[in-house]
């Protein structure tokens, strides 16, 4: 294809995705308050899920009211 590849490129893992079904619904308002509102993105009128972000270590997770993580 005409593309040169470095003999030993540096490989970094940048994204890992996993999912789980907890088998029951969640009260996302209570989850948002329990985890601390400063790290939460939750606008139920705009999007039916909650995003929790941490800065150290840097990671985030999405949680829906249907208990899917």
pLDDT in tens, the chain (69 residues): 678 877 888 889 888 888 888 888 888 899 889 888 888 999 888 988 899 988 888 888 888 877 665
Cα 57 from Cα 35, distance rounded (Å): 16
Within 8 A by CB and 6+ apart from 59, the residues are: 53
Which pLDDT score, from 0 to 100, does residue 1 have? 66
Q: Assess contact for 31 and 50: CB atoms under 8 A.
A: yes
Q: Which residues pair with 68 in a beta bridge?
A: 21
Which pLDDT score, from 0 to 100, does residue 26 have? 85
Q: Note the pTM of the prediction, 2 decimals.
A: 0.65
- How many residues appear in the chain? 69
Cα 19 from Cα 22, distance rounded (Å): 10
Which pLDDT score, from 0 to 100, does residue 14 have? 86
């Amino acid at each position: 294809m005409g593309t040169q590849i470095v003999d030993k490129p540096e490989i970094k893992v940048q994204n890992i995705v996993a999912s789980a079904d907890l088998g029951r619904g969640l009260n996302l308002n209570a989850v948002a308050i329990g985890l601390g509102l400063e790290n939460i993105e939750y606008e139920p009128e705009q999007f039916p899920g909650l995003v929790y972000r941490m800065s150290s270590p840097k990671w985030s997770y999405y949680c829906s009211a249907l208990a899917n993580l």
